[in-house]
Chain A
């Protein structure tokens, strides 16, 4: 009952529309819209509350309380913040490329929202079951580089431009080890379908059989999300706020919330690829599969925040050097070792 709650809701809506005499094509269209709306609401609400979580985690790490005035335990603090940001005037500086300047904060949410539609968040639960889901995720994720760059470039500000150049070089450099690291997982599973990748972890999560790939993937994910210690693009001690420098009010808030949406995507992908997705560990199947998925996802999100408040920022040359000289060779070596290991296992007849 609790296990299949989302499937039951979907079937209920489908039956309701079917009994009302809606043709099958429109029925599917409505179902897709319902799913996409659910994803949008889920991501926006989460992005809002993750800001609160981040501030609470920061407070805990620095031995202070964090937001605690607005609402019970400060839970409404970020809602109030968004209310303030919405009511602020949208300031467009004189020399900016107006259309692109306004387009960038709108478009920045498209990649995370699109990606979430293929992520399986429970047994047989996903908006779209794509056969090459993993590929789709990376294709769409690579687009967000372009959108960050639009924001920085259209501002006509030297700090924005520096920040957006950093975004491009950083994201391009870390996409490579990320994909190469995942080749190990894909070789073992033999499929790009995210559900099949999860099912292949029935006996052992890939964090155990592919620890190097997990480390590379996680480091690259932190870099792709532009989080500390790799938040060079908005290194406030060097370039003010990078691409966001000229943005105020809701434009800034969109970039800010998109950062948390990207963290959610990265955490969800880490969960799917290395932590067994919705599979219950130790046979604790009485807890519904989707709950397991979200528990694992929030644990990974917590690790993201833990990293942020623990490590200092690195330099841009250190960042790029680390990506090209350490992560890329290491991920190439991981592919070879995985291939040899698979042959040995096959020779042993496992």
Chain B
């Protein structure tokens, strides 16, 4: 990654969008707006990956998070729809508990930040043009067992979905 002024500008713009939309996710009162801010947040994170020359990760980010996770949340929202969507993402008064959690999180961040050596972590080796080949090679050699287990799990889930769809039909016929 060559660090030129345009990369820095792009980074700060993306960072502003990510942080802004992340704050808006919890700040807006309508849960549908929260989901759309979530999608905006995910897509701008894909932009950060692009800045780091990780094209494959960026595309996966868009496909899985913006394309699938947001849709799944929308399914959830539509199935349990409230009469008044304007009050669907409610606030509550548990400020003490929230303050405790936030303080603990900040403390953990502080300790970790203190322990980090803050050396330059960027390597001088250029990013391979074909990162997909490297990822694929690693997945099928070093990490082959987790990969195959995940593949099996997904196939089982897929066949399970087909079986569920079939069963409804059998009931309908009776």
A165→B169 CA distance, assembly (Å): 21
Contacts A131-B130, A136-B59; is A321 near B66 (CB within 8 Å)? no
What chain A residues lie within 8 Å of B161 (beta carbons)? 324, 328
Interface size on A, residues (CB 8 A): 30
Are B67 and A168 interface neighbours, CB within 8 A? no
CB distance from A102 to the nearest CB of B (A): 14
What chain A residues lie within 8 Å of B74 (beta carbons)? 146, 149, 168
A324 contact from B55, B60, B162, Cβ within 8 A:
B162
A139→B63 CA distance, assembly (Å): 4
> What's the A-B contact tally at a CB cutoff of 8 Å?
71
The answer, yes or no, to whether B129 is at the interface (CB within 8 Å) is yes
Contacts A100-B36, A131-B130, A325-B169; is A332 near B158 (CB within 8 Å)? yes
Are A325 and B67 interface neighbours, CB within 8 A? no
- Extra contacts, 6 of them, besides A142-B63, A146-B71 (Cβ < 8 A), are A139-B62, A142-B66, A142-B67, A146-B67, A172-B71, A332-B155
What chain B residues lie within 8 Å of A165 (beta carbons)? 78
B56 contact from A132, A143, A172, A324, Cβ within 8 A:
A132
Contacts A130-B55, A131-B132, A149-B74; is A143 near B62 (CB within 8 Å)? yes
Are B75 and A146 interface neighbours, CB within 8 A? no
Are B62 and A132 interface neighbours, CB within 8 A? no
Listed by A's residue number, 11 A-B pairs whose Cβ atoms lie within 8 Å are A25-B6, A100-B33, A135-B56, A136-B59, A145-B71, A146-B74, A176-B158, A192-B132, A321-B169, A324-B165, A325-B165
What chain B residues lie within 8 Å of A143 (beta carbons)? 62, 66-67
A332→B36 CA distance, assembly (Å): 33
B residues 1-35 with Cβ under 8 Å of A?
6, 30, 32-33
A139→B43 CA distance, assembly (Å): 11
CB distance from B8 to the nearest CB of A (A): 14
The answer, yes or no, to whether A290 is at the interface (CB within 8 Å) is no
- Write out, one digit per residue, whether chain B residues 69-85 have a CB within 8 A of any chain A CB (1) or not (0): 01100110010000000
What is the predominant secondary structure among interface residues of chain B facing chain A?
helix
Q: Which residues of A contact B (CB under 8 A)?
A: 25, 97, 100, 130-132, 135-136, 138-140, 142-143, 145-146, 149-150, 153, 165, 168, 172, 176, 192, 320-321, 324-325, 328-329, 332
Are A131 and B129 interface neighbours, CB within 8 A? yes
Are B68 and A328 interface neighbours, CB within 8 A? no
Contacts A143-B62, A172-B71; is A325 near B162 (CB within 8 Å)? yes
A176→B75 CA distance, assembly (Å): 17
The 5 A-B pairs with the shortest beta carbon distances in the complex, nearest first, are: A142-B67, A139-B63, A324-B165, A139-B62, A139-B59
Q: Which of A100, A138, A143, A329 has the most CB of B within 10 A?
A: A143
The answer, yes or no, to whether B41 is at the interface (CB within 8 Å) is no
What chain B residues lie within 8 Å of A142 (beta carbons)? 62-63, 66-68, 71
Closest chain B residue to A154, Cβ basis: B32
The answer, yes or no, to whether B166 is at the interface (CB within 8 Å) is yes
Closest chain A residue to B4, Cβ basis: A25
The answer, yes or no, to whether B48 is at the interface (CB within 8 Å) is no
What chain B residues lie within 8 Å of A140 (beta carbons)? 62
What chain B residues lie within 8 Å of A329 (beta carbons)? 162
Are A132 and B162 interface neighbours, CB within 8 A? no
What chain B residues lie within 8 Å of A172 (beta carbons)? 71
A324→B169 CA distance, assembly (Å): 12
Q: Which of B60, B67, B159 has the most CB of A within 10 A?
A: B67
What chain A residues lie within 8 Å of B70 (beta carbons)? 146
A328→B155 CA distance, assembly (Å): 11
Are B158 and A328 interface neighbours, CB within 8 A? yes
What chain B residues lie within 8 Å of A138 (beta carbons)? 63
Closest chain A residue to B46, Cβ basis: A139
What chain A residues lie within 8 Å of B130 (beta carbons)? 131
